[in-house]
Amino acid sequence: MVRLYPAHPGYNGSNSAGLWEITKLRMELTTSRLVIRPLRKGEGAKIASYFQSNRAFLQPFYPTFKQDDFHPTTWERHIPQIHTDIEWHRAARLCIFQADELIGVANFTNIHGHPRHACTLGYSLTENAQGKGLMVEALEAAVPWVINEFRLHRIEANYMPRNERSGRVLEKIGFQKEGLAKKYLLINGVWEDHILTAFINHDF
């Protein structure tokens, strides 16, 4: 279950998942097994390799991949924008590292301030890291940081009914089901139904 703690830029604190360090130029969350942070200059090849090696595993749950998703140069060009989006409270696209290996992503996008104070969460984990509690561990660190850093009331996350593993991850960290959206997203060329869930910050 996610626990929330007061935070502000420059705050060094802790939660049940580990420690976080936040400065204007550097954002990094650490847990017992993981480091969660944005891509840094020179790491375009890491994220390209992640999607390339997991393409077959992820495609049933993703919009149809484009060739740019596997191109290091394209990702390298995006890195400055990733950091600008965090600074300007537009999105927080985070990568999950274990022993310097990029094993997953957690993207908090569509960040809105008043009156919604909300964002959307999407995530994925490499195939060979499944079933070890790593995504729960990563999100237990990332969700409180996002709530506090961007002053959010809710985080929304949606998953296809057949993706029961994703549903269990969200349930473990405190997301609650809110409904079913028919033909909600175009996933791998098919309009897929999605279960709608949200994490509510009751201290807002």
Report yes or no on 70 lying in a domain: yes
Q: Which domain holds residue 86?
A: 12-153
Number of domains present in the structure of the chain: 1
Which tens digits make up the pLDDT trace of 37-52?
999 999 999 999 999 9
pLDDT the model gives residue 26? 72
In a domain, 7, yes or no: no
Residue 134 lies in a domain: yes
Strands (E), the chain: 12-15, 18-22, 27-31, 35-37, 92-98, 101-112, 118-125, 154-159, 176-187, 190-200
Determine, yes or no, domain membership for 96.
yes
SS3 88: coil
Domain assignment present for residue 128? The answer is yes
Asked if residue 158 belongs to a domain, the reply is no
| CATH code, 34 | 3.40.630.30
Burial 156-191 (b: 16+ CB within 10 A, else e): bbbbbeebeebbebbeebbbeeeeeeeeeeebeeee
Reading the block at residue 128, the tokens are 């060979």
* Residues 127 and 57 sit within 8 Å (Cβ to Cβ): yes
Peptide bond into 115 cis (omega under 30): yes
Is 79 within the bounds of a domain?
Answer: yes
As a whole number of Å, the end-to-end CA separation of the chain is 18
At 47, list the tokens: 């994220």
Domain for residue 182, yes or no? no
> Tokens 């405190």 correspond to what residue?
174
d(CA 121, CA 190): 21
Which residues in the chain show pLDDT less than 70? Answer: 1-25
pTM of the model: 0.88
